[in-house]
Structure 1
Amino acid sequence: MLYDTTADVIRKALRGLGMAPSEAAAAAGLPEREVLAASRGKVLAQTLRQLAPALCLSPGALAGLPGYTPPACPLAEVQRIELPFDDETVNAWLVADGEGGHLLFDTGDGPNDVRKVLENLGIESVTVLITHEHGDHTGGLRGLGHMALRIQDPQQGDLLHLGTLTIRVIDLPGHCEGAVGYVVEGLGLPLCVTGDALFAGSMGGCAPGTPYREALEALRRNVMTLPPETILLTGHGPASTVASERLSNAFLADLA
């Protein structure tokens, strides 16, 4: 199941653009009530297609979002750990490093949730890398205790060598100040851990203006330019690939 619905995408676009529903309606040639309905729940695909250009979204991707199923990650070395977060879930990603060790990208919300999962898997220690400092991605750190070796504050452009893997840190601003992503090479396919900068079919919510623009620019520059087979490990919801998001992410797909 995708993390964001079409209504979520529309609300994020309206907020990021600093645009009132009435303004979007006027630009799209739609009654304001239809834009409000689209931001709250299901509407006709034709309405979504008509509204999308006014919000700088891909009409085809927005209309197709309800039926979008991103490709699953095929790598046995990668495990999604889906952890509770209020009435939703949040992802931590466990990646084998090729030499018997493990990397843990983000730690979930609850202080002991991810530790219990690791213990049940028989894993005694992990190298932890954090995408951003929101509590639902860092809350599990305090419960890991001696199990965790945290890479402290990696910066954009840093290159890390862990086991047989090479990890490049990329800048993914907008959703959270100081947020980064990780491009991982050394497995059968490249990975990019995006945190909340990107979801399958959507992106993380951003404040209006500069944060929203910077988020989109960074995703297009640092993620969408990766090889199309790159697996995207997101902060919430299922994994995807660069190729799939180029076609089906309303924020990033071709507007044609």
Structure 2
Amino acid sequence: MITMNRLIAGLRRRLRRALDYRVVRWYQLARYQQAWYLRRLFRWQEVDLVIDVGGNSGQFAEFIRKRVGYKGLMITFEPIPWLAAELQRRTASDPNWIVVNKALGANPGQAQFNVMNTSPMSSLLQPKRDSQSSMKQFNQVEQRVEVEIATLDTCLNDNPRTRECRNIYLKLDVQGYELEVLKGTQLAMSRICALQSELNVIPLYENQPGYMEVLRFLDTAGYVLSSIPAHDYEHFPEMIDFDCHFVRRDRLTKALTAPPSGSSAPVGGA
């Protein structure tokens, strides 16, 4: 019976690979979609650097390593000192994963950073006082810490390993501070082949730009929307936020107008 069960399990795995399908729980769907999308994107654009802004406990970086399979250079920016220190300890054996204890913004300086009772909600912005969202209970300030703010342009230029990277993937999870980070990335924009950002439908922070404002900024900066993974319906019927994936318009146009050339094409195939 055990041998038969193993045989059936093996046949199921082969069938899934052959047909490229998975049966997953609804709350895992977005992760499967993102892993598939990013594996393909990284091959297409030959990504040579991943920048993880708002690393928290390393969830996204671990996802990139384990689920996407990217082993190249990666930099995680995490402003909360004890989270950054723990990440530095965990990544000591990975020379291609650099952890930087800084926040990113439009201009260098110092600022008070709000550490929330749910650490992924922590932000340079104050939580919205009149919020009616179900997320309000998770977005309470527990303490404030002084953090250093740098611009991504400066960080990329100062590091010899990143200075020559030409196919950069940027991930933003900065709780309402997306535009400020992007404003400090003007010189590197042409090298950022693609990016993803969590955007709020419901504002959770004071003076937080609306998601349409961020979309317009990225459109002007030369990016087009490429993918929106499945939404997490844990807070049904309220839609709090969603992840957006963008690619540079000029690179997409070049790929779509180029003669068919095999596996590097961005459309068709797996």
TM-score by length of 2: 0.32
Mark the structure with the bigger radius of gyration. Answer: 2
TM-score by length of 1: 0.33
By relative contact order (CA 8 Å, sep 6+), the higher-ranking structure is 1
